[in-house]
Structure 1
Amino acid sequence: MVTPLDEKKEDRTVNPDMVQVMLTNGRDVTNKPAWMVFGKETLTFDGYFKVSANESQYNYNVRKCKIVYFPEDNTITVMEPAIPNSGMTQGCLIRRHRIPHPGRANGFYELLDFNIGKTVEFYGKVFRITGVDCYTRDVLRKMGLDVPENQTQPRDPYFEYRAKTGLESNAETTSGKSKKYKDVDLEGKVLSFKAYWDDRQSAEGLLHFMEVHYFLLDDTMAIMEMGEDDKMTMFLQRQRIPKVFSMYSYNIDRPFHSVA
């Protein structure tokens, strides 16, 4: 038996708080289905969240994203735009569905939870909303909502570090990879190698077990050391490493390690 189309669609009515907001703006949507009131509207909010980073120069990364809200059924999706040389896999972070609100028993996020300056928590990640596009601002204002001015998003310490150390400007010019592999998507591609450093000839020296991570995107490397409890700790932070290194001088034009 085929279920009729009108029975398949769940007639969620407009949230009572939203009814009052729209009523003050001269529009009565009491007991009306949300899909009938909002149609196929999609509202887009700019935001970001922070994730911890095990680096000596910075201890967190700023991940910027788009929060897309669908008023017709209170569903949400979160997208992270791809940023070149980020070294992270980006795209759809949260697929479209109703997201439970951690502060409401059996409750979900709704339209009034979203506005500039507010924070929302999706599955343990805290997102701060910093802006909206012109279309979303216009729709919210027509609904009777006050929308503050867009805020400036913080810079990612990782990219500030790259700019300060010259990694950003030299990622393409000093690496032959950009020409040889220009048609290959290297975003998030990392090669891992098992290694060891035998320092037992030194006084109180030890045999160190390592993991060498090689980031194909920009020819940077990071080295992790395995402790006695199998816990990995940072031995050498992610950077480009010269093939010949002198502790007394550093020349940015000298050859670096690469996969070529």
Structure 2
Amino acid sequence: MTQRTAGFTATTKAKRDVAVDPQNKPPPPPGAPAVAALGDMHLGDGSSIPVWVAYDAQQLAYAAYFVEPSVDGRERVRSCAIRFYLEDGTVDVCEPRVDNSGLDQGKLLKRHRAVASDGRDLTFHHLRVGEPVVIYGREYNVTACDDFTREFLAREGVVLAPNTEIPDGLIDEGPSVLGTIGMGLRGVGGKRVFEDANANASPLGVVVAGAAAETKARSIHWSPYDRVGVNGPKKDRFDRRVLRFFCAWDDRANEGGALVRYTLNYYLSDGTIEVLESTGIHNRGRDPFPKMLARSMLPSGGGFAVGPPGGGANGAGGYVTVDDLRVGGVVGVYGRDLTVYDVDEFTRGYFVKEKGRTLAEMAPRAVDDGARARKVAPVPPHDGIGSEEDSLRNCVSLVPRRPPKDVINFEKNDGRTLTFTAAHPPAPGTLSVDVDRRFVITYYLVDGTVSVYEPPMKNSGHVGGKFLERTFEPVKKPGSKTTAYGARDFYVGNTLVINSFAFTLLATDAATEKELKALGLA
């Protein structure tokens, strides 16, 4: 007890040694310098709160750009965002992602304490609007910052220049080299990627209306992955709308050639085309190449030549448009002539409503694939061993399986039978001893099989017992190989032929009459 009390006293004294809990301390007063705290990570002048507590989740956000050479010799301007974290003096660089840009975008520089070009740690003194900053050999031109950054630095006595615009990106005036590699006007950094965005928008969502324009208010929780522009790209009623054409390429004239089917997708939002090889066709003896043409602008005429920038594909031929595609027409895809033989329902409705084509024009066309009618091997006759359904499994599979059972029918009719007393009908050539014989015929509702039992009779000259053991399958009617006897064929007075023996049903019992009423046959 003494030891526990002593320990409690020591703990209480240790807590009293701390004057104020840093986590519950109020924020630093306005005007308190933060430079010293950011430099040495200790308690700043005028405040007893650690810097990582005072400036938790606060960051300085800048819009910047850097220039890199393009594949065709021109220069590409890539916009990005630089964030400086006040809590620990770290920095990261992010580039907003652009669909189909072909660039490795996103996080360009992971968050850490970076080193400036002068060999010292990078601080917010190196990040000034209108001035370049070099980080690990790459020069970033800072063009703007958000309201929080400008207000924070004003309190620290740092005056920033007004926000400026980011220069235009690479304008792809023609396919040039990009067109030859399948990028077309959607080339990396191309005009089509940015044409729907606000021309004066920065990665921070800042709209610049001149050298003295003010920064649009944004939250400090801004994400560098936001889409370009304040309100995002302009909406297009054909966005995510794709016309699908089913095409065929006939290469049977060449040795080893075949008829290959493709799916051509035309994107209404930008006029690009992709060609995919149809799936679901196996064992063709061809290597699988799912994508014949990546999404790009398709030069008209089907040739390979690409003209100079600004001159269009093939010099002056232009590109394939939606008006060039029709059912029954031919589309040239870099030397391959694809015949359009059908479209999907959305495409058919689009051409009827938007282009005024008739349903007859959009009707599917027949394709001569040259396939021969498959010869079906005849089913061999049943050899009498086992059931016919079970024996047929050996003809359709190398490893036969048991025929499936109707579980619902089994649960409903298991144990239910129709029982009749029968005799051989009198006929020419029938002996009197056979006419006097009596039989009990049982019909099993669960599977339609039949059994015949002959009760023993003294001095009849016949051994009683099983006349016909329960069959493996329903008994077929005379002269038919498929139609079997059913429950409605079992009634008093009817004559059945079972294994070439004729039986006339003479009477039944009360249980059978009840079953017949339940089946609606009485």
TM-score bucket of the superposed structures, by smaller chain: 0.5 to 0.7
Report deviation, 1:77.
Answer: 0.7
Quote the Cα distance in structure 2 between the aligned partners of 1:43 and 1:88: 26
* Aligned match of 2:113: 98
Tell me what 1:128 maps to: 141
Q: Is the 8 A contact 2:62 2:142 kept in 1?
A: yes
Equivalent in the alignment of 2:317:
250
Of residues 117, 139, 142 in structure 1, which corresponds to 2:152? 139
Give the distance between the partners of 1:158 and 1:248, measured in 2 at CA: 19
Check whether the contact 1:130–1:153 (CA below 8 A) recurs between aligned residues: yes
Q: 1:146 to 1:249 in 2, by over 3 A?
A: closer
Write out aligned runs for 1:128-167 (5 A).
128-158=141-171, 167=185
Structure with higher strand content: 1
| Secondary structure in 2 matching 1:111 | coil
Residue of structure 1 in register with 2:130 after alignment? 117
Structure 1 unaligned blocks of 5 or more: 1-5, 7-12, 20-26, 181-192, 194-213, 221-239
* Aligned residue number for residue 446 of structure 2: none
Does the CA contact (< 8 Å) of 2:37 and 2:51 recur in 1? no
Counterpart check, 1:108 vs 2:125: no
Answer whether contact 2:143 2:164 (CA < 8 A) is retained.
Answer: yes
Partner of residue 42, structure 1: 59
Task: State how far apart, in whole Å, the 2-side matches of 1:141 and 1:102 are.
Answer: 25
Computed over aligned residues only, the root mean square deviation of the Cα atoms, in angstroms, reads: 4.0
Q: 1-side partners of 2:332 and 2:60: how far apart?
A: 46
Identical counterparts, % of pairs: 23
Alignment counterpart, residue 219 of structure 1, candidates 268, 287, 296:
296
Name the CA shift for 1:249/1:46 in 2 (closer, same or farther; >3 Å).
closer
**Match of 2:106, as an amino acid?**
G
Q: 1:70 to 1:175 in 2, by over 3 A?
A: same
Aligned length: 182
Task: Pick closer, same or farther for the CA change 1:248–1:44 going to 2, 3 Å.
Answer: closer
The secondary structure found in structure 2 opposite 1:131 is: strand
Q: Determine the structure 1 residue equivalent to 2:393.
A: none
For the residue of structure 2 that corresponds to 1:50, the secondary structure is: strand
- Seen in structure 2, the aligned counterparts of structure 1 residues 124 and 243 have a Cα distance that, compared at 3 Å, is farther
Shift of 1:29: 5.5
After superposition, the Cα gap between the structure-2 partners of 1:257 and 1:120, relative to the gap in structure 1 and judged at 3 Å, is: farther
Q: What is the letter of the counterpart of residue 244 of structure 1?
A: G
After TM superposition, the score normalised by the length of structure 2 is 0.30
**Higher relative contact order (CA closer than 8 Å, sequence separation 6+):** 1
Call closer, same or farther: CA 1:89–1:15 in 2, change over 3 Å.
Answer: same
**What TM-score do you get using the length of structure 1 for normalisation?**
0.56
**Structure 1 counterpart SS, 2:125:** helix
Question: Gaps spanning 5+ residues in structure 2: where?
Answer: 1-21, 23-32, 186-191, 196-265, 277-288, 306-313, 325-330, 339-522
Shift of 1:173: 3.9
Query: How far apart are 1:70 and its partner, in Å?
Result: 0.7
Distance 1:123 1:47, change over 3 A: same
Matched, 1:174 2:232: no
